[in-house]
Amino acid sequence: MPDCDLLIIGAGIAGLSMAHYAAEAGLKVLVLERESRPGGCLHSHRFNKASTEFWLELGAHSAFNSYGNLIAILESLQALDCLIKRAKVGFRLYADGTVRSMPSQMDIPELVLAPFRLLGLIKVGRSVADYYGRIVGRRNYTRVFGPAFDAVICQPASDYPADSLFQSRPRRKDIPRGFAFSGGMQTITDTLAGRSGVRVELGQTVRGIQRGGKDFVVKAGDAHYTAPRVCLATSVAVATELLRSMFPAVAAQLAEIETATVETVGVALPAEQVRLPPLAGLIGRGEPFYSAVSRDTVPDAQWRGFTFHFRPGVLGDEEKLNRIAHVLKIPRTALSLENVVSKINQLPSLRVGHGERTGHVDALLAGTGLALSGNYFTGVALEDCVTRSRAEFERLRREGL
């Protein structure tokens, strides 16, 4: 007897939303996760300060009322009461060693013509730099928009496909435009992992997938699990390796998708130590960091927090802390093991023509019993992952799951 109807590898938002759809349909579902916590890029570090539990996002920090599939899932689990409207604070640029407003850095005459340059300009097939650079003008792109787009996707955005960066989706008017969650964004994946009908096994690193008769046999540590359907919901690099022997043509397509690394460092500080005005975050221009995302969007009476997303391989650990102290204008000694936390994040680097590649992948997957979900299909946003899981679940259902 197989261990479950659907085995999912990876308990990030892609894997857990897939598990949710399967559990809703009454299927027996098992999720294997290599880490000791579910969530993947949804990672809210909880500092457990003496008087209050202060959390800081080490990965995704915001969701929007255009995330219809994600909102529908949370609604069905009655989890929307954990939703917190983001405070109205804006992003600033950190350039030439100081905090600057975005408008102060723009070339207004160049920007005035933007609506006319937009007319008839097609997004599909263009890179971010090509498409948005034409609209806002080269000077504005270099000084403001380019660094802001890098900050949005935590990697150099210029060669990214313009149609994958922002996608227009219907908005739920009854939900705040931008929102977070009490306890942090990880509350989303904690809720999904804890829902009835979903079994998550933590600390299980999947090392191989094979066929065993009609079923897939999935190897994790010393254990073997069997299931008639498998969904891989890991990073693209892991999916490539796991598929190499059994699905070499799919693996060959996935191997072409590059991965960007982000060196993330979060710091929590007593509010009175930080003199910066409340802000959503700082966008680095000419800096070793893409952004410093602030917790001021969900203000705390006693603590402030900043998560610096550093470019990879530029600064060592000590240099990062020195840079953080310099930007926040605090003494270096204010940063210690107590209030600093770090993480390596990875994201796919999509390129123009990516849609054709995923089209090939989908054609190869048809009828195999294997599903692929994650942030390397239409885009990296949480909603892209959930939408992909929903589409893959519906395909598996059509194919007999």
Q: Give the residues lining the site for ligand FAD (CB under 6 A).
A: 9-15, 32-35, 40-42, 59-63, 154, 205-206, 233-235, 238, 262, 264, 309, 345, 347, 374-375, 380-382, 385
> What is d(CA 94, CA 285) in angstroms, rounded to the nearest whole number?
6
Output the smallest distance, CB 315 to ligand FAD, in A.
17
> What is d(CA 188, CA 39) in angstroms, rounded to the nearest whole number?
8
* Residue 250, burial from CB neighbour count under 10 angstroms (0-12, 13-18, 19+): buried
SS3 273: helix
- Helix or strand run (H / E) with residue 31: strand 29-32
* Residue 217, burial from CB neighbour count under 10 angstroms (0-12, 13-18, 19+): middle
* Contact in structure between 279 and 87 (CB atoms under 8 Å): no
Q: Which residue has the tokens 């935590």?
A: 154
Which tokens belong to 280?
Answer: 């959503």
Quick one: CA dihedral 266, 269, 273, 276, positive or negative?
positive
Q: Which of 313, 288, 323, 264 is nearest to 43 (CA)?
A: 264
Specify the residue, 143 or 295, whose C-beta has the smaller distance to ligand FAD: 295
Specify the residue, 140 or 346, whose C-beta has the smaller distance to ligand FAD: 346
> What is d(CA 33, CA 317) in angstroms, rounded to the nearest whole number?
28
Specify the residue, 140 or 181, whose C-beta has the smaller distance to ligand FAD: 181
Output the smallest distance, CB 162 to ligand FAD, in A.
18
Output the smallest distance, CB 375 to ligand FAD, in A.
3
Output the smallest distance, CB 384 to ligand FAD, in A.
7
Specify the residue, 284 or 374, whose C-beta has the smaller distance to ligand FAD: 374
Specify the residue, 135 or 380, whose C-beta has the smaller distance to ligand FAD: 380
Specify the residue, 165 or 238, whose C-beta has the smaller distance to ligand FAD: 238
Output the smallest distance, CB 102 to ligand FAD, in A.
18
* Contact in structure between 44 and 58 (CB atoms under 8 Å): yes
Specify the residue, 327 or 380, whose C-beta has the smaller distance to ligand FAD: 380
Specify the DSSP class assigned to residue 87. Answer: P
Specify the residue, 133 or 348, whose C-beta has the smaller distance to ligand FAD: 348
Output the smallest distance, CB 285 to ligand FAD, in A.
18
SS3 85: strand
Specify the residue, 15 or 284, whose C-beta has the smaller distance to ligand FAD: 15
Specify the DSSP class assigned to residue 272. Answer: G
Output the smallest distance, CB 203 to ligand FAD, in A.
9
- Number of other residues whose CB lies within 10 A of the CB of residue 186: 25
Q: Which of 112, 135, 277 is nearest to 145 (CA)?
A: 135
> What is d(CA 247, CA 244) in angstroms, rounded to the nearest whole number?
6
Output the smallest distance, CB 242 to ligand FAD, in A.
7
Which tokens belong to 349?
Answer: 């680097």
Specify the residue, 369 or 374, whose C-beta has the smaller distance to ligand FAD: 374
- Residues 384, 389, 394, 397, Cα dihedral to 10°: 170
